[in-house]
Structure 1
Amino acid sequence: MSKRRINKVAVIGSGIMGSGIACHCANIGVEVLLLDIVPRELNDAEKKKGLTLEDKVVRNRIVNDDLQKAIKSNPAPLYHKDFAKRISTGNLEDDISKVKTADWIIEVVVERLDIKKQVFENLAKHRKEGTLITTNTSGIPIHLMSEGHSEDFQKHFCGTHFFNPPRYLKLFEIIPGPKTSPEVLEFLNEYGEKFLGKTSVVAKDTPAFIGNRIGIFGIQSLFHQVKEMGLTIEEVDKLTGPVIGRPKSATFRTVDVVGLDTLVHVSKGIYDNVPDDEEHGIFQIPGFIDTMMENKWLGSKSGQGFYKKVKNDDGSSEILSLDLDSMEYRKSKKASFGTLEKTKSVDKVSDRFPILIKGEDKAGEFYRKNFGAMFAYVSKRIPEITDELYKIDDAMKAGFGWENGPFEIWDAIGVKKGIELIKDLGKEPAAWVTEMLESGVDSFYDVRDGNTYYYSIPDKTHKKIPGQDSFIILDNIRKSKEVWSNKDVVVEDLGDGILNVEFRSKMNSIGGDVLAGVNKAIDLAEASFDGLVIANQGKNFSVGANIGMIFMMAVEQEYEELNAAVKYFQDTSMRLRYSSIPVVVAPRGMTLGGGCEFTLHADRVVAAAESYIGLVEFGVGVIPGGGGSKEMAMRASDTFKKDDVELNRLQDYFLTIGMAKVSTSAYEAYDTGILQKGKDIVIVNEARQIAAAKAVARFMADQSYTKPIPRTDVKVLGKQALGMFLVGTDQMVAGNYISEHDKKIANKLAYVMAGGDLSEASYVSEQYLLDLEREAFLSLTGERKTLERLQHMIQKGKPLRN
């Protein structure tokens, strides 16, 4: 059988979802054709220009306007603005024949069966045999759309449900039709994981599939619960946010972002199509939601929903909250609960659940009711919506941003205790749960030999979750593969001669214990292994150096100790570069300051596409002191070419630090010079990242890796560059673009990157630049305004401009 490849995708429908899907396909390097309908009438601008409905610019107006709106939206749907060039546009009358060149056609038109059927009839006339053809419907039964089409069409037809926004939400539901080929399902499952970077979940053709069926049940339950328990929307958002591993937007802010009309549409679809669901009434829209719909309080898109942003007379902004009793907006009230205070010192979210359900206040009652209702519901959806319980957890984690799925939460509380919560509500779990316990199995999941096993109901035993061979899950191997650890670091054996260093500090910040752990790992790898990976599976790789420690030393004027600490950081960065084994760093999420400096000094970088990398030290009043300033000067030097304007090259690297540029994806980090083309790689599926980093380290070791020789050939431009930078910072202050303290920091950086005030361009060593960098860093920590910036960041979590 020939191998199926996707080189070109046709997306039909350019609305929010269609444009988002088109952009994400472009993100992964695929050629995209985006089509939509022809306008029925001219707009005012077109009339003024004397255009007609036959002009191409008019005929493609809808698709082009939609795509441009998507590209300009925030958060950005593209990893890099240049990727928009991979998308061509057209309309469904003039350009539909072009779908014959596509390998995959994705329909994303309005959620009406009659319109979708008409679109598929037109597509069938032009689609070549063997082409995948799928629908992004969020609820229309798949079998209704494929009826009456050819055998080949039905064999290659199914649902592929992306979640909005397609770049960021990882769930990719695949819903087979009655005649979908198993080969097609298998291909899409793998393609979703490997190329689109998704969590692929094959679902059954039931209303709202898996993610929305469970997710909407959870939201609707809360809508009913908020009134029953007399909770405010702020209280519900406090209870259903980060404390239980959910997004900061929690419940009501999320609904505002998604749009109340979207939620109501899906809820009504479920209500109309699941009359036998034991919780059918939950999907009925509560009265206060009906009122909001009548008032068009739909959320962000209409300017008000559960929250409303208003401007005060003094020009300041304020967020008001909707009072669900009076249906009027009022000042937001801070929510606090004693039960939540008890979890503040518990870092691991799954360890909080047993504490939360024991709460004696309203929060404890809320969690007992909320979890009990959810446990009962998910247990009874098997085998209706899926045969495997792990698919429900995967769907909720990937589609709704939950850190733990319902069955994982149930395991954390204890299966027996979960049944108690269900029975306290007057409900019953599905019979299979009780049978599982009676058979001696007391958990839904089990971890063995680094793999996760789930309880298979038909087999009445734990079975290995398929597809794990492409992943390394640190949570699964940490205990059994630990080689060494301290308070903030675990060093694990990944197998095949490769070690991993995992940061375990708060927000993965880099302090003395992390530096000690990295050095110890290099010692171990050099002595008994072949390579080293620095990676973790936290939300963020590292937010940078422990600035609390720097602040305390600076306030106490312990400059000798501070000098030693900064030199230790620099020496550690240099060890990454100049060890006798290959070192691969695998950043993801926020990779800031010191985390970025480690990335800069790796032999290779395997970055997750969703990496936000930058040297942000200016925000706390210093320059990069862990080798970052030196490294950017050296990278600038490496780009100097004969007859080149070297000052311009150096200035680009200077501005990367001086403007504290943070990439909005790993691809943008190539532009800032933090990642290097042809050397560092980007991987879309974060779950595969550590396995990929391990493979790169192993490959380098197999290619007879030799310890590099420290550089002594870094070209610096001396007074010529320093003069240009100093003039530039003077002008910036004069134009009120930067403060006097910003200028002082920038001038210190300029001195380092120019190589000091040398009379002419010279060649220097890395150590020479590191000494300049450390001296500049230490001098800035003696400045009052730097201490103010450090203190503000520690206390407020955001930079101070002073």
Structure 2
Amino acid sequence: MKRRINKVAVIGSGIMGSGIACHFANIGVEVLLLDIVPRELTDKEKNKGLSLEDKAVRNRIVIDSLQASLKSKPSPIYHQDFAKRIKTGNLEDDISKVSEADWIIEVVVERLDIKKQVFDNLEKHRKKGTLITSNTSGIPIQQMSEGRSEDFKKHFCGTHFFNPPRYLRLFEIIPGPETSEEVLQFLNEYGEKFLGKKSVVAKDTPAFIGNRVGIFSIMSLFHMVKELDMTIEEVDKLTGPVIGRQKSATFRTVDVVGLDTLVHVANGLHKGVPTDEAHDLFAMPDYINTMVENEWFGSKSGQGFYKKIKSDDGSSQIKSLDLNTLEYRDQKKASFATLELTKTIDKVEDRFKVLIGGKDKAGEFYRKNFAALFAYVSNRIPEITDELYKIDDAMKAGFGWEHGPFQIWDAIGVEKGIEMMKAEGKEPAAWVNEMLEKGNKSFYKVKEGNTWYYDIPEKDYKKIPGQDTFIILDNIRESKEVFKNSGVVVEDLGDGILNVEFRSKMNTIGGDVLDGLNKAIDLAEKEYQGLVVANNGKNFSVGANIGMIFMMAVEQEYDELNMAVKYFQDTMMRMRYSSIPTVAAPHAMTLGGGCELSLHADKVVAAAETYIGLVEFGVGVIPGGGGSKEMTVRASDTFQKDDVELNRLREHFLTIGMAKVSTSAYEAFDTNILQKGKDIVVVNPDRQIAIAKKHALLMAENGYTKPIHRTDIKVLGKQALGAFYVGTDQMMAGKYISEHDKKIANKLAYVMAGGDLSENSYVSEQYLLDLEREAFLSLTGERKTLERLQHMLKKGKPLRN
């Protein structure tokens, strides 16, 4: 039987329950969200004369929880309209409705007795064969399944989502003693394909995989910081982006998550793993116990390792906790000579050898930190998993690490890692030495375009399963390279489809990237069938190289700048008017020029987590790579008979003028940056390039024909121009925009109106491109635009002047 999930019941509407409900709504599933009935009225309900029997009261907990979740930032939902897919109810009046669900997910408080009560109630109404899972972070699945029916046990397991469910991709699946293999296989595939997760089947051990290793790593740091007499700023400096971790690093992350939450899991581990060689590390240091007693839990309590202080003048300052005195003090800048050595090393994995070789406190910290981590993860096999790659997958998908422990160990060198361990009085598991003795010098190998891992029982390498559904550019770059320059690598994806991968810093688009794009189109038109533009970087592209624009403008090299802007425009038009289909696969930050490239592709296959927009106003210019032209074209294409055309044009004008950036790919359909019926969204980013390739191939095989240049774009001339000018006057008079904002907006208005034509007219794309380029160049001659460009280059954020 082919199992399908059309309706999910989520039991428990707290932060996790509401987050899980929202993510199922994100992917189009109907959700029933249930919680308990309140036991007493609020003052507000009493004043309204309501009773405990009123439906609004009985559903108050679930409704309030869901609304709080939907208002939270970052949002748990791709688009607010998707919340309509969630129906709410309570566990007394609506429990029978779980019989309609294909999957029931329990997300109540982490207490075994309460979970068992919930299962007793659910089993009375659940239909046979329905999946039923618990989102527990550590209660043994075996204990939860005791006393249940045979059908319940067969279809029951743990499914541990990480918080927030939309953003953290780890999906741990923990089988019970009688969970059927069919259920495990289905959940593994469903997590990857539909939920966009990194599915990891874990063993039923305390805290499973992610939290077992993640909590060890944090607790190890909690103890090490005192041992090395380090400040929290120093630790956060060393455990952030320099090693491929989040900017919030260690202590800021704990403040966000909540120290009480971390302590709860760590205490559970201290109790649950008495034979663990690192058992003592799960005991809280004194300073943590004091913070818990003081209820210094972090953001939720207003103070933790950091505290925001408001001054009398209204300004705020962030203070840091001194771990010796437990008093808040001014922040101290952390700097290390070892980190300076890594500033020119772009690839994180290439930094590790340099970091462990440091002669200062940073070097000592990294040697101790990695030695402890490597020893610990090697000894967790086969206790928590039989396959080492699952530990790496869990840490990357659940904790946002760019590289998992075994990948870091490989980057340092397996033998060097053991040498570091021995210096710290630690030993790796016996299987690591056996691996080396057999001549195997790494945990991973890349061959035939796939990643292979060292399989411990087989004492040989095995291909990581599931790779057939996605394309990893790191694995094929060398063997499939067709062309390369300093800005791009062009790879052969097979079946006649090329890929252009940006390799510039932050994937900015400069002359080398444009050269590479043109070369790729040349090659594809001569010898291939289609072209994909995609990469596996942190961001698709943050836009044009504004450093280059700034230097040309400062030097007043306007002829060269004009040529550079025209080259950008011409390249975007080649994306649109080449004789082969072009597909853009944007993800994460896709700003300015990155957005313009997507606008000109034949099709966009966007990751759900795509934050796309035309943000050029922030640096004092209008979109100059075809973006202003394209939004004018798209406005024209939406004009309908008897429509108020000016309103349609204004919507597209405001998309640029307000520098709107979508918070998901789905929101980009609202601004017409993505187009319904043409562009698609992919939830699992691992599958994105493979799906983009399929669409390029499909267009090619269906007889793709080179488009004809557009000359039928309706522009509104003075009618639109007058209305826009009045609007910008009013905005400035109301102090909503500055004088320079008004100047930029009026330049954009001139382009999108098609100039000061006396009546509605039909124009070509090239006509609009020329207007766009002229406006862009004139703005680069403005002092305030140069100030904005310089501020963005120095501070990384826009200037309002």
Same fold (TM over 0.5): yes
> Residue by residue, what CA displacement relative to the aligned partner does 1:701-726 show, whole Å, maximum 9, x if unpaired?
01100000000000000000000000
Please say if 1:35 is aligned against 2:34: yes
Q: Report SS of the residue matched to 1:149.
A: coil
Give, in angstroms, the shift of residue 270 of structure 1. 0.6
Partner Cα separation in structure 1 for residue 253 and residue 17 of structure 2? 21
Aligned to 1:279: 278
> Residue by residue, what CA displacement relative to the aligned partner does 1:147-166 show, whole Å, maximum 9, x if unpaired?
11111100000000000000
Aligned to 1:767: 766
Which amino acid counterpart does residue 467 of structure 1 have in structure 2?
Answer: G
Please say if 1:479 is aligned against 2:466: no
Give, in angstroms, the shift of residue 118 of structure 1. 0.4
Aligned to 1:523: 522
Aligned to 1:743: 742
Partner Cα separation in structure 1 for residue 332 and residue 194 of structure 2? 45
Partner Cα separation in structure 1 for residue 504 and residue 34 of structure 2? 48
Aligned to 1:228: 227
Aligned to 1:208: 207
Which amino acid counterpart does residue 397 of structure 1 have in structure 2?
Answer: K
> Residue by residue, what CA displacement relative to the aligned partner does 1:769-801 show, whole Å, maximum 9, x if unpaired?
000000000000000000000000001100000
Give, in angstroms, the shift of residue 137 of structure 1. 0.3
Aligned to 1:355: 354
Matches within 5 A, 1:523-562: 523-562=522-561
> Residue by residue, what CA displacement relative to the aligned partner does 1:227-286 show, whole Å, maximum 9, x if unpaired?
000000000000000000000010000000000110001001111010000110000011
Aligned to 1:137: 136
Give, in angstroms, the shift of residue 91 of structure 1. 0.3
Aligned to 2:88: 89
Partner Cα separation in structure 2 for residue 182 and residue 343 of structure 1? 47
Partner Cα separation in structure 2 for residue 303 and residue 97 of structure 1? 41
Aligned to 1:264: 263
Aligned to 2:788: 789
The two structures have a TM-score, normalised by structure 2, of 1.00
Partner Cα separation in structure 2 for residue 609 and residue 387 of structure 1? 32
Aligned to 2:678: 679
Which amino acid counterpart does residue 112 of structure 2 have in structure 1?
Answer: L
Matches within 5 A, 1:594-743: 594-743=593-742
Q: Report SS of the residue matched to 2:491.
A: strand
Which amino acid counterpart does residue 190 of structure 2 have in structure 1?
Answer: Y
Partner Cα separation in structure 1 for residue 781 and residue 474 of structure 2? 42
> Residue by residue, what CA displacement relative to the aligned partner does 1:197-237 show, whole Å, maximum 9, x if unpaired?
00000000000000000000000000000000000000000
Please say if 1:586 is aligned against 2:581: no
Give, in angstroms, the shift of residue 409 of structure 1. 0.2
Q: Report SS of the residue matched to 1:624.
A: coil
Give, in angstroms, the shift of residue 3 of structure 1. 0.5
Q: Report SS of the residue matched to 2:172.
A: strand
> Residue by residue, what CA displacement relative to the aligned partner does 1:96-146 show, whole Å, maximum 9, x if unpaired?
000000000000000000000000010000000000000000000000011
> Residue by residue, what CA displacement relative to the aligned partner does 1:309-334 show, whole Å, maximum 9, x if unpaired?
11112211110000000001011111
Which amino acid counterpart does residue 542 of structure 2 have in structure 1?
Answer: V
Partner Cα separation in structure 2 for residue 35 and residue 318 of structure 1? 41
Partner Cα separation in structure 2 for residue 421 and residue 24 of structure 1? 42
Partner Cα separation in structure 2 for residue 738 and residue 594 of structure 1? 24
Matches within 5 A, 1:487-498: 487-498=486-497
> Residue by residue, what CA displacement relative to the aligned partner does 1:155-208 show, whole Å, maximum 9, x if unpaired?
000000000000000000000000000000000000000000000000000000
Which amino acid counterpart does residue 39 of structure 1 have in structure 2?
Answer: P
Please say if 1:368 is aligned against 2:383: no
Give, in angstroms, the shift of residue 427 of structure 1. 1.1
Partner Cα separation in structure 2 for residue 15 and residue 649 of structure 1? 41
Q: Report SS of the residue matched to 2:573.
A: helix
Aligned to 2:503: 504
Q: Report SS of the residue matched to 1:54.
A: coil
Which amino acid counterpart does residue 693 of structure 2 have in structure 1?
Answer: K
Which amino acid counterpart does residue 69 of structure 1 have in structure 2?
Answer: A
Partner Cα separation in structure 1 for residue 53 and residue 541 of structure 2? 55
Matches within 5 A, 1:88-487: 88-487=87-486
Partner Cα separation in structure 2 for residue 324 and residue 70 of structure 1? 34
Give, in angstroms, the shift of residue 76 of structure 1. 0.2
> Residue by residue, what CA displacement relative to the aligned partner does 1:481-524 show, whole Å, maximum 9, x if unpaired?
00000001000000000000000000000000000000000000
> Residue by residue, what CA displacement relative to the aligned partner does 1:602-659 show, whole Å, maximum 9, x if unpaired?
0000000000000000000000000000000000000000000000000000000000
Which amino acid counterpart does residue 659 of structure 1 have in structure 2?
Answer: M
Which amino acid counterpart does residue 319 of structure 1 have in structure 2?
Answer: I
Which amino acid counterpart does residue 73 of structure 2 have in structure 1?
Answer: N
Please say if 1:11 is aligned against 2:10: yes
Which amino acid counterpart does residue 497 of structure 1 have in structure 2?
Answer: G
Count of residues in Structure 1 that have an aligned counterpart in Structure 2: 801
Q: Report SS of the residue matched to 1:126.
A: coil
Partner Cα separation in structure 2 for residue 113 and residue 788 of structure 1? 60
Partner Cα separation in structure 2 for residue 173 and residue 325 of structure 1? 38
Q: Report SS of the residue matched to 2:383.
A: coil
Partner Cα separation in structure 1 for residue 214 and residue 370 of structure 2? 13
> Residue by residue, what CA displacement relative to the aligned partner does 1:27-70 show, whole Å, maximum 9, x if unpaired?
00000000000000000100000000000000000000000000
Partner Cα separation in structure 1 for residue 41 and residue 800 of structure 2? 49
Q: Report SS of the residue matched to 2:583.
A: strand
> Residue by residue, what CA displacement relative to the aligned partner does 1:421-459 show, whole Å, maximum 9, x if unpaired?
111111110000000000100000000011000000000
Partner Cα separation in structure 2 for residue 267 and residue 91 of structure 1? 32
Q: Report SS of the residue matched to 1:372.
A: helix
The two structures have a TM-score, normalised by structure 1, of 1.00
Partner Cα separation in structure 1 for residue 293 and residue 546 of structure 2? 51
Partner Cα separation in structure 2 for residue 50 and residue 310 of structure 1? 42
| C-alpha RMSD over aligned residues | 0.4
Give, in angstroms, the shift of residue 411 of structure 1. 0.2
Partner Cα separation in structure 2 for residue 322 and residue 53 of structure 1? 46
Which amino acid counterpart does residue 192 of structure 2 have in structure 1?
Answer: E
Partner Cα separation in structure 2 for residue 293 and residue 93 of structure 1? 36
Which amino acid counterpart does residue 186 of structure 2 have in structure 1?
Answer: F
Partner Cα separation in structure 2 for residue 286 and residue 210 of structure 1? 24
Partner Cα separation in structure 1 for residue 540 and residue 713 of structure 2? 29
Partner Cα separation in structure 1 for residue 733 and residue 640 of structure 2? 34
Aligned to 1:801: 800
Partner Cα separation in structure 2 for residue 733 and residue 556 of structure 1? 31
Q: Report SS of the residue matched to 1:11.
A: strand
Q: Report SS of the residue matched to 2:229.
A: coil
Partner Cα separation in structure 2 for residue 128 and residue 424 of structure 1? 58
